[in-house]
Amino acid sequence: MSSQQSSKPPSNTEPKSLPSGMALEGTQVVDISNFLAAPMCSMFLADFGANVIKVERPVVGDEIRRWGETKNGVGLYYKAVNRGKKSITADLRTPLGVEIVKKLIANADILVENYRPGTIEKWGLGPDVLMAINPGLIIVRVTGFGQTGPYKNRPGFGTIAEAYAGYAYISGYPDRPPLLPGFGLADSTTGLMAAYLASVALHDKRKTGKGQIVDLALYETLLTLLGPQVVNHDQLNIVQERAASRLPFTAPRNIYLTKDQKYISVGGSAQSIFERICLALEIPELALDSRFADNRTRLANIDALDEALQNAILRFDRAELMERFIQLEAAISPVNNIQDIFADAHMASRENIIELYDDELGTGLRMQNVPGKLSRTPGQIHHTGPRMGEHNREILIDKLGYKESDLSALGIDFSNSKKSIT
């Protein structure tokens, strides 16, 4: 893949109709959410064929349009997170906006929202109202602290969730303050979990015909992913502390500096892998040292182990180390930055990054592809995130039967709208 983006539509990246037979083909999703976690939920659903209609506030749209980097005034992150969706504009705080949502959910399978508890109820769009219209509706509610509990009304964002769930506490060096991740970890993992829970509820609906409410707090997924911390504290009263790149249950596991001042990651809790690491580094005697006889003894002598490995690694350039480790089937990886990822042959072969033409930017736009490979019903990105209100005419006029003149008089803009497409 070229490092330069296309200035015209590549022949294989133009917007196209989704193929038939996708796993979520025919699934109707209404997304009234903002920012990241909940929109990522509907993004994953769209990746597998769901028809997602995103409802954005007129003029301002989703806040993520102005979040992060822009190009020619266009929010880049929006383009990735809202790929495959259709955009309409409606103010949910108005009778018209409420009416539009009610019409949309009448035949929908899933509604995705992430407002504070009580907000959509205040607008007249609470679950009782919506499920009276459509008893089979699945309502995915993503909030900072959930719909219940003493903290339910607190404002919650990914940063807050990463601290509250215990992730930040164990991140960083022992002698330094806790660290937050360098990307929206809580939001991203919550988006994945929300899509999973929505799919579970959808599976149940196809058996029973009944909808339900999915109540997911931002911190809950990270709490689940903290590994053995809960059971360890419950049974042994252990509080895991910060240990930089180490883990308290596997050794070696760290980042090391090479002779040419580059970084690698090495891991090998299994004894066979550890022995291969030692062979690759030309220090086979290290594997015979009683201090490093197995994973448990290595953990007890971790400082000595890391010092020995680092001293050995400093004798080699990264490229040579990679060759040595790969030949011996020892576990190693370069510490990649995003430039390295763009140039990586393996990721290219698996199409982990895909290019699609974006007509708003007038160029090819690369983003992460659908994760995972399904042999029979693979996911596929239809198009990049739409212009604000790009599908106003298709949805509001052609599908819902409104008159353009009436909606224009009420502030609905059609300047970005295209003619209907199948």
Q: Are residues 317 and 356 in the same domain?
A: no
Q: Are residues 144 and 286 in the same domain?
A: no
Q: Are residues 121 and 165 in the same domain?
A: yes
**pLDDT given at position 7:** 43
Catalytic residue check, 187: yes
- Does residue 236 sit within a domain? no
Q: How far, in Å, CA of 419 to CA of 409, rounded? A: 20
pLDDT tens track, the chain, 422 positions: 333 344 445 444 455 566 678 999 999 999 999 999 999 999 999 999 999 999 999 999 999 999 999 999 999 999 999 999 999 999 999 999 999 999 999 999 999 999 999 999 999 999 999 999 999 999 999 999 999 999 999 999 999 999 999 999 999 999 999 999 999 999 999 999 999 999 999 999 999 999 999 999 999 999 999 999 999 999 999 999 999 999 999 999 999 999 999 999 999 999 999 999 999 999 999 999 999 999 999 999 999 999 999 999 999 999 999 999 999 999 999 999 999 999 999 999 999 999 999 999 999 999 999 999 999 999 999 999 999 999 999 999 999 999 999 999 999 999 999 765 44
Tell me the one-letter amino acid at 292: F
Q: Could you give the C-alpha distances from 253 to 171, 241, 305, 326, in angstroms and in order? A: 15, 16, 10, 17
CATH of the domain at 178: 3.40.50.10540
Close Cβ partners of 194 (under 8 Å, ≥ 6 residues apart): 37, 38, 40, 41, 112, 140, 142, 214, 216
Domain that holds residue 382: 28-225+343-409
- Does residue 417 sit within a domain? no
Q: Are residues 192 and 91 in the same domain?
A: yes
Q: Are residues 209 and 316 in the same domain?
A: no
Closest by Cα among 311, 306, 273 to 291: 306
Q: Are residues 217 and 314 in the same domain?
A: no
Q: Are residues 325 and 382 in the same domain?
A: no
Integer Rg of the chain from CA:
25
**pLDDT given at position 420:** 53
- Does residue 415 sit within a domain? no
Choose one of 275, 302, 334: the last residue of a domain. 334
Q: Catalytic: which of 31, 47, 109, 187?
A: 187
Torsions phi, psi for 304 (to 5 deg): -65, -40
Q: How far, in Å, CA of 6 to CA of 363, rounded? A: 5
Q: Are residues 161 and 303 in the same domain?
A: no
Choose one of 284, 306, 334: the last residue of a domain. 334
CATH of the domain at 311: 3.30.1540.10
Close Cβ partners of 384 (under 8 Å, ≥ 6 residues apart): 79, 80, 83, 356, 357, 358, 365, 367
**pLDDT given at position 21:** 85
pTM score = 0.93
Q: How far, in Å, CA of 218 to CA of 194, rounded? A: 10
- Does residue 279 sit within a domain? yes
Choose one of 302, 334, 366: the last residue of a domain. 334
Distance of CA 338 to the CA centre of its chain: 16
